[in-house]
């Protein structure tokens, strides 16, 4: 799941056409690489944790979840 390289370039080109500072930032830093992830709960949870805690800590949570799932822990309502 994610944006392709083409989608990223096209979207940032539109932003750059509306705001010159975006164009300057693209010239300085270039375009970001696509971050394609598989669909599913693991990606959803990693995304939420990454936004709420930090991207560096998210893999640690992912490792813990995988251990829980391997032991048979499941989501219940």
Higher model confidence: residue 73 or residue 22?
A: 22
Residue 22 CB partners (closer than 8 Å, separation 6+): 12, 15, 16
CA 10, distance to chain mean position in Å, is 18
Q: What is the pLDDT of residue 8?
A: 94
pLDDT digits 0-9 by tens, 37-53: 888 888 888 788 777 77
Complete DSSP assignment for 4-48: -HHHHHHHHHHHHHH-HHHHHHHHHH-PPPP----SSHHHHHHHH
Q: What is the pLDDT of residue 29?
A: 93
Distance CA 52, CA 58 (A): 9
- Mean pLDDT for 55-60 is 70
Mean model confidence pLDDT for the chain: 81
């Amino acid at each position: 799941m994610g944006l392709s390289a083409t989608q990223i370039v096209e979207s940032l080109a539109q932003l750059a056409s509306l705001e010159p500072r975006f164009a300057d930032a693209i010239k300085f830093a270039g375009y970001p690489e696509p971050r394609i992830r598989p669909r599913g709960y693991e990606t959803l949870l990693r995304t939420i944790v990454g936004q709420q805690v930090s991207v560096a800590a998210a893999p640690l949570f992912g490792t813990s979840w995988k251990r829980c799932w391997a032991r048979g822990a499941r989501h219940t309502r």
